[in-house]
Amino acid sequence: MRLTAPFRTVATATARRLPSAPASSPGTAVKRSRRAVLLGLGLPLYISLPSFARAAMSTTSGKHPPQPPDLPPRHPSMSRLLRVLTAEGTIKSEAVAEAMSRVDRAAFVHPAHAVIGEAYADHPLPIGYNQTISAPHMHATALELLQPVLRPGARVLDVGSGSGYLTACLALMVSPSGHVLGVELVPQLAAGSVEALRKAVPALMADGTIRIEAGNVLEGLLASEPPFDAIHVGAAADTLPRELVAALAPGGRMVVPVGRPGETQVLELVEKLPKEATGKHYVRVTRLMDVGSGYLTACLALMVSPSGHVLGVELVPQLAAGSLKALRKAVPALMADGTIRIEAGNVLEGLLASEPPFDAIHVGAAADTLPRELVAALAPGGRMVVPVGRQHGMQVLELVEKLPHGGEGKQDVRVTRLMGVGFVPLLARYGLDGGANVDGVKGRLGGKQA
């Protein structure tokens, strides 16, 4: 499951109706004593974190030994993005900047996103099969955390390798003489990543530095593999996977999100360290960042308290229950005084019929078209943020503003297209189209998805 990055990167902006109306400043629709509604609040936040969180998580630095001579060229568009990530503090080492600058992200996204330049924006993008390529800042964060062990000759495992972009970056950092094994549960994604990698880093594919396997990494796939110096896991596990800890070499590092669907998930750094007295090894686990559900609900509630109200709507009962548990721990006072209310149900099937209008609406899953029911639920002057577009096509994050117009009290709606995004479908993720399972999107690590 995926959420997009904050609104820092604007790809396109067009307005429909009332083009001359002045735009209100950001945040004006969410004020104290206001009402807000969130849809799809159970989505994990692993793929995209705010810049202050990204800077806090980038804790490593260092320089990389000289690269082999047959490197792909640097890409100017990637370089511009990387300068921003470096200025924010997300990228700290020359090694990470060098690797990411030489892997063209456009080769790993849908051609439509590459044409309009979305490949170089700092947010996730859909790659098909209910999966996305992570935002560049998350790739940079993972590379920085693993960077101390990413040296020439190192062995790396990329679990949930998806598009193959991060696999390519890892391979550049351990070449020459290193090896990266990418494991992807979805066979079509594995095949697509092989094609993209052959175009983006042909030398590393030809000399065997990169190998892609389709399968479940927890079902014996690693039985014959030597230990790995670095492991990156791109999907959440219920608990820390023992199989992957066992696959770490002494001194190795692993980055993995841990937590059950609908509950708080934590990005963890796992280090296998030698215990000098006995000659055995022990594991140190550092909890880097909570990335679970209900987070945005709590933030909105804090912004509209003490007299405001936030209604969170989640169709999957298990996710609704999980968010309640997380919210009671994180913001107990706002739960106790009724500022936050969570409902399990379909927001498009009359759930809002008895609700007064909302000053702000956030939608956490993509609708095929702009939902009329939600536009009708906006109060005059209200704002809604909603991703619009079909699952395997182009999706755009839209800002919807309900503006007063004319002398008869009628309302006009202004829609601003902000940027291309990759969201799970509003209905398909709940299994309502017969294609998705009840827990949402099919996962890539033991049946779970980050």
* DSSP string over 225-239: PPPEEEEEE-S-BSS
User: Same CATH topology for 15-43+293-430 and 51-290?
Assistant: yes
Annotated active-site residue 134? The verdict is yes
Q: Beta-strand (E) ranges in 176-227?
A: 179-184, 210-214
Q: Is the pLDDT of residue 325 over 70?
A: yes
Token pair listed for 138 = 């998350």
pLDDT at 38: 64
Q: How many CB atoms lie within 10 A of CB 416?
A: 16
Identify the burial level of 333 via C-beta atoms within 10 angstroms of its C-beta, where 0-12 means exposed, 13-18 middle and 19 or more buried.
Answer: exposed
Task: Of 125, 163, 130, 169, give the one whose Cα is nearest residue 150.
Answer: 169
- CB contact set of 187 (below 8 Å; sequence gap of 6+): 214
Decide: 157 and 247 in contact? Cβ < 8 Å. yes
Distance, in Å, from the CA atom of 237 to the CA atom of 140, rounded to the nearest integer, reads: 21
Range from 115-119, 135-139, 237-241 that averages highest in pLDDT? 135-139
Q: Is the pLDDT of residue 201 over 90?
A: yes
Q: Is the pLDDT of residue 23 over 50?
A: no
The ranges assigned to domains in the chain are 15-43+293-430, 51-290
What average pLDDT does the chain have?
A: 75
**Between these two residues, 418 and 445, which has the higher pLDDT value?**
418
Q: Among all chains, which residue has been given the structure tokens 């004593």?
A: 33
Beta bridge partners of 210: 180
Task: Of 327, 379, 369, 371, give the one whose Cα is nearest residue 346.
Answer: 371
Task: Of 235, 257, 262, 355, give the one whose Cα is nearest residue 40.
Answer: 262
pLDDT at 275: 67
Q: Is the pLDDT of residue 345 over 70?
A: yes
Task: Of 189, 165, 192, 52, give the one whose Cα is nearest residue 101.
Answer: 165
pLDDT at 443: 33
Of 87-91, 203-207, 319-323, 443-447, which range is least confident?
Answer: 443-447
Q: Determine the CATH number of domain 51-290.
A: 3.40.50.150
- Condensed to tens digits (0 to 9), the pLDDT of residues 350-364 reads 778 888 999 999 998
- Condensed to tens digits (0 to 9), the pLDDT of residues 63-102 reads 444 444 356 666 677 778 888 889 888 899 999 999 999 8
Cα atoms found within 13 Å of the Cα of residue 186, Cβ hemisphere only: 22
Mean pLDDT value across residues 175-197 = 94
pLDDT at 2: 31
- Condensed to tens digits (0 to 9), the pLDDT of residues 285-316 reads 776 655 545 778 888 888 998 899 999 988 77
Decide: 109 and 420 in contact? Cβ < 8 Å. no
Decide: 382 and 405 in contact? Cβ < 8 Å. no
Decide: 331 and 298 in contact? Cβ < 8 Å. yes
Range from 24-33, 170-179, 329-338 that averages highest in pLDDT? 170-179
% of the chain residues with pLDDT over 70: 69
Mean pLDDT value across residues 243-262 = 86
Q: Among all chains, which residue has been given the structure tokens 């987070």?
A: 295
Distance, in Å, from the CA atom of 103 to the CA atom of 92, rounded to the nearest integer, reads: 18
Of 41-50, 212-221, 227-236, which range is least confident?
Answer: 41-50
Specify the CATH number for 15-43+293-430; select among 3.30.450.20, 3.40.50.150, 1.10.287.1080, 3.40.190.10: 3.40.50.150
The one-character DSSP state at 65 is: P
Cα atoms found within 13 Å of the Cα of residue 390, Cβ hemisphere only: 3
% of the chain residues with pLDDT over 90: 31
Q: What is the 3-state secondary structure (H, E, C) of 389-442?
A: CCCCCCEEEEEEEEEEECCCCEEEEEEEEEEEECCCECCHHHCCCCCCECCECC
Catalytic one of 48, 134, 163, 305:
134
